[in-house]
Amino acid sequence: NAGVTQTPKFQVLKTGQSMTLQCAQDMNHEYMSWYRQDPGMGLRLIHYSVGAGITDQGEVPNGYNVSRSTTEDFPLRLLSAAPSQTSVYFCASSYSSPGSTDTQYFGPGTRLTVL
Amino acid sequence: GQQLNQSPQSMFIQEGEDVSMNCTSSSIFNTWLWYKQDPGEGPVLLIALYKAGELTSNGRLTAQFGITRKDSFLNISASIPSDVGIYFCAGPNAGGTSYGKLTFGQGTILTVHP
């Protein structure tokens, strides 16, 4: 199993550009989440999904869209990039709800800089 | 929303020393999770706690679920250089099942000098 994979690893955007961060998992996990990590702030939840076709907002959803057409994939779209979205983005998945007895696995992250 | 406060924010220790860090919340958590993040990587789950008062070990790591359900502690004994990283506490948001939502603390940055 490859686990949770994220592409790209690094990305530089100009203000106003749009892009999609890819996330895929091959563990048949129902739950998938997107977090952003900023210095001194830990990880903050952007959007999450409890299964294909079902998504919901997390703590900091503004400026981001998600969809979940398949169990495996959970892309994160930046509609119009802003410097405040410069961050490290992590995708995570788990078989059932994080905080249950199932472990949540994180991808290696995408480091995004918006100029 | 719920917040988790970790302390200390950073620690600089000598190899072989023991380490203690904690996490507190103004609200009750039913599950406490401790993660470690190596430089340039995603977080990895170290220990999960599901019951107030529970004490769980994973090698040199020991974590405890506070009796009040508002705090948790992580101890690392006999630290080694590979313990370097950021340690996060986390817990599922309130309101029954977490439905994929975790709240994370700000992290404790650990540096170990050989």
Q: What's the residue count for chain B?
A: 114
Long-range contacts of A53-59, Cβ-Cβ distance < 8 Å, separation of 24 or more = A56/B99, A56/B100, A58/A33, A58/A34, A58/B101, A59/B1, A59/B103
Tell me whether strands A19-25 and A76-78 are parallel, antiparallel or unpaired.
antiparallel
The residue among A56, A49, A55 whose CA lies nearest residue A33 is A49
B113 touches A at CB < 8 Å: no
> Which residue among A42, A101, A107 sits closest to B104, beta carbon to beta carbon?
A42
Summarised one tens digit per residue, pLDDT across range A74-99 is: 999 999 999 999 999 999 998 876 66
Summarised one tens digit per residue, pLDDT across range A51-73 is: 999 999 988 999 999 999 999 99
Q: Is the dihedral of CA A77, A50, A7, B82 positive or negative?
A: positive
SS3 assignment, position A83 = helix
- List the pLDDT tens digit at each of the 114 positions of chain B: 568 999 999 999 999 999 999 999 988 888 899 999 998 899 999 999 989 999 999 999 999 999 999 999 999 999 999 999 999 999 886 544 445 578 899 999 999 998
The residue among B84, B58, B98 whose CA lies nearest residue A99 is B98
